[in-house]
């Protein structure tokens, strides 16, 4: 084979095999109120809805790539993605990816308790079953390991294959999602480097998650972690235990003064567990992606 032909074939092969040059999906013409994608996980055996929001100048015609913030429970929060609650003029361009369970009602609650909790806690399982008046062994906590694997091996690779992303990944969650985000902060090995830990349910797994986390902040003077941003928040009118645990986690992390972690926290005045959601999402974006 002549050398020019060989070079042409080699160059073509590199272009079409490189994800940077592969065909990306164009978000124009989509229905904002319908999920952009449904991903069936072979790892968790659950279906996840994907709702997305893009920077206003996002185009498949250029080579610009963007950081991504993965927002848990996206089905209930995606309405805020492009709302007046968020001042997009003050934040960097970022793709928002809402992730939620396809099922609704009690089935969604069951999936959330499983995916978002770090450890199996049978006492919590029984207490939640009694609270929601469901059959025994319906609630099974402790699926966070599998869900984090699902994010790393299925959901995030899908987004990065089809959209113009870069390796700057963040994750944010509220309530049980805040608990899972805190778990990712401590266990994701730099896979994510921006964390929005909002109204975290530290009262679940308190002794086997919160207390060891505080011990880590207290006893480890250094932390070999990539440059990381963390925002932690809660509403003033949430349960006293939720507020006090959030403050405890925040103060010990702040006191550790890790040089490679930029951390801020906030208690939103007069806000409840539900009403605080748009404010904490805006706080997450402005603290993690605020323009210099």
DSSP state string for 43-58: TT--EEEEEEE--TT-
Residues whose CB is less than 8 angstroms from the CB of residue 38 and which lie 6 or more positions away in sequence, other chains included: 47, 48, 49, 50, 102
Instruction: Give the chain's mean pLDDT.
Output: 90
Nearest Cα to Cα of residue 54 among 88, 101, 20, 99: 88
Is the confidence at residue 61, as pLDDT, over 60?
yes
Task: State the pLDDT at residue 231.
Answer: 98
Strands 228-235 and 37-40, sheet pairing: unpaired
Per-residue burial over 264-284, b = 16 or more CB atoms within 10 Å of its CB, e = otherwise: ebbbbeebebeebbbbbbbbb
Average pLDDT for residues 57-73, to the nearest whole number? 96
Strand 47-53's sheet: what is its strand order? 37-40, 47-53, 95-101, 66-72, 165-174, 194-198, 228-235, 261-268
pLDDT of residue 239: 95
> In the structure encoding, which two tokens stand for residue 292, read together?
């210099």
Average pLDDT over residues 157-170: 97
Over residues 1-13, the mean pLDDT reads 47
Question: Which tens digits make up the pLDDT trace of 221-253?
Answer: 999 999 999 999 999 999 999 999 999 999 999
| CA end-to-end span of the chain | 54
State yes or no: pLDDT of 17 exceeds 90: no
Residues 143, 176 contacting (CB under 8 angstroms)? no
What's residue 9's pLDDT? 45
**pLDDT band, very low/low/confident/very high, at 29 (cuts 50, 70, 90):** confident
Instruction: Determine the pLDDT at residue 15.
Output: 39
pLDDT surpassing 80 at residue 290: yes
For the stretch 249-287, pLDDT in tens is 999 999 999 999 999 999 999 999 999 999 999 999 999
pLDDT bin (cut points 50, 70, 90) of residue 32 is confident
Per-residue confidence band for 124, with pLDDT thresholds at 50, 70 and 90: confident
Say how far residue 142 (Cα) sits from the centre of its chain. Answer: 17
Q: Are 179 and 116 in contact (CB under 8 A)?
A: yes
Residues 6+ apart with CB under 8 A from 142: 114, 117, 118, 119, 120, 121
Residue 99 pLDDT: 97
pLDDT at 208: 82
pLDDT band at 206 (very low <50, low <70, confident <90, very high): confident
Written as six digits, the tokens of 164 are 């113009």
- Domains along the chain with CATH numbers: 34-289 (3.40.50.1820)
What is the percent of the chain where pLDDT is above 70?
92
User: Using CA atoms, how far apart are residues 72 and 112, in angstroms rounded to an integer?
Assistant: 10
**Which is nearest to 25 in space by CA: 166, 164, 165, 162?**
162
């Amino acid at each position: 084979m002549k050398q020019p032909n060989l070079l042409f074939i080699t160059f073509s092969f590199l272009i079409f095999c490189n994800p940077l040059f592969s065909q990306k999906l164009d978000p124009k013409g989509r229905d904002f109120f319908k999920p952009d994608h449904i991903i069936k996980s072979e790892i968790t055996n659950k279906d996840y809805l994907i709702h997305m929001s893009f920077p206003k100048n996002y185009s498949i015609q250029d080579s610009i790539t963007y950081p991504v913030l993965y927002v848990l429970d996206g089905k209930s929060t995606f309405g805020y993605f492009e709302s007046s609650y968020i001042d997009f003029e003050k934040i960097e361009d970022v793709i928002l990816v809402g992730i939620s369970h396809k099922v609704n009602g009690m089935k969604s609650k069951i999936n959330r308790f499983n995916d978002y909790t770090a450890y199996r806690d049978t006492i919590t399982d029984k207490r939640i079953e009694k609270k929601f008046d469901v059959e025994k062994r319906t609630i099974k906590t402790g699926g966070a390991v599998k869900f984090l694997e699902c994010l790393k091996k299925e959901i995030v690779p899908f987004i990065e294959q089809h959209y113009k992303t870069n390796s700057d990944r963040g994750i944010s969650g509220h309530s049980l999602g805040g608990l899972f985000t805190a778990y990712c902060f401590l266990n994701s090995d730099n896979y994510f480097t921006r964390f929005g830990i909002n109204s975290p349910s530290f009262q679940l797994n308190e002794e086997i998650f919160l207390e060891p986390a505080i011990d880590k902040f207290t006893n480890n003077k250094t932390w070999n972690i990539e440059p990381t941003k963390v925002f932690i928040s809660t509403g003033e009118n949430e349960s006293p235990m939720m507020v006090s645990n959030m403050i405890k986690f925040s103060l010990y992390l702040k006191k550790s003064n890790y040089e490679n972690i930029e951390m801020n926290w906030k208690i939103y005045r007069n806000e409840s567990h539900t009403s605080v959601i748009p404010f904490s999402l805006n706080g997450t974006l402005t603290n993690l992606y605020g323009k210099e």
